[in-house]
């Protein structure tokens, strides 16, 4: 098929690589990307969505609102340089990777040990960094205490310390990007590597999906890892039987009348998946009431893509890790101006790309990416063959990716 790259409106030197990914699967390829950009001496930018409403991020969103920080935290911690013998960097990585106890009361006690510098996690962290980090934790702890109500008590169970830090830093500075910057400099992440939230916002953003059987799913958890709410119950709260009324009696960061499925603390196991009843047809952003909205991409994301020599769609959950960044306004146009667009296929079928007996093919993956990039320009027409190469130019399959193998093949679209 013909290659019709769109010229950039202003001449510029394109360098570096922009990687669209989530926060977990692509961590296995971080070393590979680092080797490539080190050899080419160019910048590397990771573009990560903020729409995950599950895991420990869900409790932070319930109480404080704001963007989901889990995927961003996961990538930042993975990027902490490994230097043999550097005990402080190892300790910082251990601290920000740490999860509190599964028991809510034990988790709260452990959190206070961290805040008050009694926890063993502080052992190899210098006093100046310890006090800087603790100042952020103290800010968050004060906000947690201020927001506690008889019907709404913060659940520390399995909370990620890194997520708690990013949320505290965001509340302190008023900026999610500033929180990312603070964690980056504390952990000495190279300046040539950056982690960019797909949307730069202090508000929560949710996604919804439609299936080919007309089923509508609201919230990322419902799409990828369905679960029930696990917020800490209170003995003085007596359910009425109406989910909207019950949730509106809980004083938290959610707007009254917002969708119940978007509220609460959702815990799940990434190893426990069941097939969707039908294939995913489309993904879009919704407001708290379930209405479709059209967010614009982070200006730094658009600038990063515009300045890139190559764009990579990494491994991970196609419809909840990759597509949410591609459907943002401005992204499709920016990608269309980049010469090389590489799609790395997953090594296994997951809930989003199944069902297991009829999984998506490589062609389906390519068309899904191209369709999302088109929809960012409010173009909902069918993806024509001649349009595909504008958004995907190369296809890569990694054999043995689950065990860290990197053998595979490369194809041209």
DSSP tag of 391: T
Three-state SS at 136 = helix
At residue 22 the predicted structure's pLDDT band, cuts being 50, 70 and 90, is very high
Mutual angle of helices 176-186 and 161-173, in 10-degree steps = 120
Q: Which residue has the tokens 């889990």?
A: 70
Q: Which of 73-77, 108-112, 152-156 has the lowest mean pLDDT?
A: 152-156
73 in a structural domain: no
Share of the chain above pLDDT 70, in %: 85
Instruction: List the one residue out of 81, 147, 154 whose CA is nearest residue 111.
Output: 154
CA gyration radius, the chain: 21
One domain for residues 19 and 162: no
Strand order in the sheet with 310-313: 193-197, 44-48, 17-20, 310-313, 340-345, 394-399, 407-412
Predicted pLDDT of residue 377 = 95
Q: Which of 189, 223, 250 is the last residue of a domain?
A: 189
At residue 405 the predicted structure's pLDDT band, cuts being 50, 70 and 90, is very low
Q: Which of 71-75, 261-265, 270-274, 337-341 has the lowest mean pLDDT?
A: 270-274
One domain for residues 182 and 51: no
64 in a structural domain: no
68 in a structural domain: no
pLDDT higher than 80, residue 272: no
What gap in Å lies between CA 343 and CA 322, rounded to an integer?
A: 10
pLDDT higher than 80, residue 1: no
Count structural domains, the chain.
Answer: 2
One domain for residues 348 and 200: yes
66 in a structural domain: no
Structure-block tokens of residue 36: 């490539």
Predicted pLDDT of residue 413 = 60
13 in a structural domain: yes
Comparing 71 with 10, which gets the higher pLDDT? 71
The per-residue pLDDT for range 121-180, each reduced to its tens digit, is 999 999 999 999 999 999 999 999 999 988 889 999 999 999 999 999 999 999 999 999
At residue 232 the predicted structure's pLDDT band, cuts being 50, 70 and 90, is very low
pLDDT higher than 50, residue 395: yes
69 in a structural domain: no
Predicted pLDDT of residue 237 = 41
The per-residue pLDDT for range 354-390, each reduced to its tens digit, is 888 889 999 999 999 999 999 999 999 899 999 999 9
**53-60 average pLDDT score:** 90
Structural domain boundaries, residue 266: 1-58+193-413
Three-state SS at 390 = coil
Query: Which CATH number characterizes residue 208's domain?
Result: 3.40.50
Q: Which of 189, 220, 244 is the last residue of a domain?
A: 189
Predicted pLDDT of residue 269 = 53
One domain for residues 334 and 285: yes
Predicted pLDDT of residue 275 = 87
One domain for residues 165 and 199: no
182 in a structural domain: yes
Residues with Cβ within 8 Å of 118's Cβ and at least 6 positions away in sequence, in order, are none
DSSP tag of 319: I
The per-residue pLDDT for range 329-341, each reduced to its tens digit, is 999 999 999 999 9
**Dihedrals phi, psi of 411, to nearest 5 degrees:** -135, 160
One domain for residues 273 and 343: yes
What gap in Å lies between CA 329 and CA 348, rounded to an integer?
A: 30
pLDDT higher than 90, residue 244: no
At residue 220 the predicted structure's pLDDT band, cuts being 50, 70 and 90, is very high
pLDDT higher than 80, residue 225: no
Q: Which of 189, 205, 224 is the last residue of a domain?
A: 189
One domain for residues 316 and 394: yes
The per-residue pLDDT for range 339-348, each reduced to its tens digit, is 999 999 998 8
One domain for residues 369 and 277: yes
One domain for residues 120 and 256: no
67 in a structural domain: no
Share of the chain above pLDDT 90, in %: 72
One domain for residues 269 and 168: no
Predicted pLDDT of residue 235 = 40
One domain for residues 166 and 212: no
What residues form DSSP beta bridges with 149?
A: 152
Q: What is the chain's mean pLDDT, rounded? A: 88
One domain for residues 155 and 31: no
């Amino acid at each position: 098929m013909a290659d019709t790259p769109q010229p950039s409106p202003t001449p510029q030197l394109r360098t570096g690589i922009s990687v669209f990914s989530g926060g977990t699967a692509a961590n296995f390829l971080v070393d590979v990307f680092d080797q490539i950009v080190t050899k080419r001496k160019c910048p590397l930018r990771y573009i990560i969505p903020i729409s995950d409403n599950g895991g420990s991020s869900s409790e932070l969103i319930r109480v404080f609102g704001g963007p989901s920080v889990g995927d961003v935290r996961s990538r930042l911690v993975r990027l902490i340089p490994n230097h043999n013998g550097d005990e402080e960097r190892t300790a910082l990585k251990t601290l920000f990777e740490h999860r509190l106890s599964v028991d809510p009361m034990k988790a709260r006690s452990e959190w206070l040990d961290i805040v008050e510098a009694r926890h063993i996690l502080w052992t190899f962290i210098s006093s100046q960094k310890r006090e800087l980090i603790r100042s952020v934790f103290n800010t968050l702890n004060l906000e947690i205490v201020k927001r506690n109500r008889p019907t709404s008590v913060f659940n520390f169970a399995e909370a990620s310390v890194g997520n708690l830090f990013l949320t505290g830093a965001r509340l302190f500075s008023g900026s999610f990007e500033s929180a990312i910057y603070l964690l980056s400099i504390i952990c000495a992440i190279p300046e040539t590597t950056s982690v960019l939230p797909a949307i730069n916002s202090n508000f929560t953003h949710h996604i919804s999906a439609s299936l080919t059987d007309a089923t509508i799913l609201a919230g990322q958890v419902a799409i990828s890892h369905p679960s029930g709410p696990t917020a800490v119950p209170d003995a003085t709260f007596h359910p009425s039987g109406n989910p909207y009324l019950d949730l509106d009696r809980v004083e938290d960061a959610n707007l009254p009348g917002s969708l119940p499925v978007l509220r609460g603390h959702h815990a799940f196991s990434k190893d426990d998946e069941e097939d969707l009843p039908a294939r995913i047809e489309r993904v879009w952003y919704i407001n708290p009431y379930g209405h479709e909205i059209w967010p614009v991409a982070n200006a730094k994301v658009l600038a990063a893509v515009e300045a890139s020599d190559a764009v990579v769609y990494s491994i991970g959950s196609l419809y909840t890790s990759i597509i949410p960044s591609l459907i943002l306004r401005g992204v499709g146009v920016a990608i269309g101006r980049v010469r090389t667009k590489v799609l790395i296929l997953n090594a296994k079928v997951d809930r989003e790309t199944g069902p297991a007996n009829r999984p998506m093919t490589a062609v389906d993956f390519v068309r899904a990416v191209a369709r999302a990039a088109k929809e960012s320009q409010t173009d909902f027409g069918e993806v024509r063959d001649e349009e595909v190469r504008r958004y995907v130019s190369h296809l890569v399959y990694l054999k043995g990716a689950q065990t860290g193998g990197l053998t595979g093949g490369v194809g041209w679209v």
